Structure 1
């Protein structure tokens, strides 16, 4: 604590200030307060001091700026200062409460260094995972090229699509440098492009379209992969089963939000539709079993409409409750 008069002369110093600045109080009393200010800031400080006495009021000093104190040996250290005017018989004086924030700055720097290290590590992890998944995709494609059995080729192609959906998640996280969330519309747009490329032979007959809201729908990492795999399964299923060899049609993916709590996804087609007797819960199809699994991972609800084609609708919460985090 330091008290100064209107001329900027130090009239009172406590023991803490002596230790902080490494001065004896008898040396400081009677000196301009600028003795405690780094030399390059002293002229500005005089102007600030004059302005403060023109409108004295309790307030912090230098809001938004880094303040520094100057010790007896000329070394500098970061400080925070609170100013309070005091009415005395000798006129208005200012009581300055000074806090040494060196340890706070060091702790902040350690946190920033740790955050940077974590960011670099996560960046490297996503990069490596993305590359490894791309290697797996290449191996699956290579195996499919050498497979004589058409059914085996189809199975390998479907597996390749699933791996691509996972790899795309890591690709977007790596590109955006934000490892906590991604834009669902952007993610599904890229996924749609990948699926469309995989089924380019059907491209002239079957359209694939994404409808997303104007505002971004953010998805956390825990949901991104099962969500992408879910859409991949449903769209792939439509390509494979909804349209006969000569039938033309369209597959539509829609994204919407229900208030601030739910994300709504739907995949619809105008194909031949599911048979009325088809029971999704008892289906032996791997694809439909995976759909049920991914909906469960999202803690969501699935509904199916079978009129004028097929429409799968999924609603799931935007955020996991703490006890639900896998």
Structure 2
């Protein structure tokens, strides 16, 4: 059981609470007259002790809001209730010097000796209001940044789409040009080659040796141009997914001999291509056109990037269901830093830029081998030569 508190002690406690409260306290009587304020209230509004006593409560309200406040006060006096003041509104208090600050007010009423009094609890929310304003500013800024970023992403997406369309148009135009140019070049090249053959056949004059040498040179260059055109056409078809692997039975040795004979005119003086097939198994089922194209590219590169009087070796084998083709030369080799890029379109090694070529051959070779389920790898040492090794199934799967 708690000991009772004397009435005068209760009054003293209430006085201490009133005087030391962290919020402003005000008691208003009839017609809004201020009857009592605590020190915190006087401090908030900049008044001296007891200076507010007897003044109208509207003196603490900004001038522009006083008429409305009188109306609200009359309404509260008619229907008093415990509640916050100005719900949903930004309430402002006005100091003695005329400056204003944001406040939060709670109202309560009590009756004493038949008279109704209203007590207000007022809190200075300047810091909270500033934080809310800053938070709103940050949110607005964030929303603006999101909107701006979204607009930038959409603009970038639009630009990328437009660039992609232009790229598609350019690629289509390039493909049409390559196709047209390749086909158009074939006719004059065939005519030139036929004329060169006729010149070589009907030349019986005293300068026969010189003529034959020049005829061989022209024939070699025509074949080089033909190889380039073949590469361009092959690339175009690969890009358009128009290349299909059509397996057929063929003799690998016969195919190699046929390609070697076809490329004979491209060999430099003293270049000897040695061909060796290991084992007795010679027949396989793959796309012979693709295999021939792969052989042409690898052998042409070997001749092109090897000096005169250097041998080139072509080795083949069919063993355990796998066909292996190896082309080795003793040419200029490939710089180590260029080796990871050798199968990229149009890439040419740094030590090969002065030698005629398109940079398409190895890319086409690898893509043909991909279609046939094969692989290609190579080893190379600068100044010593390069060896390309191909491995693919000897029997194409349906």
Q: TM-score, normalised by structure 1?
A: 0.44
**Bigger Rg, structure 1 or 2:** 2
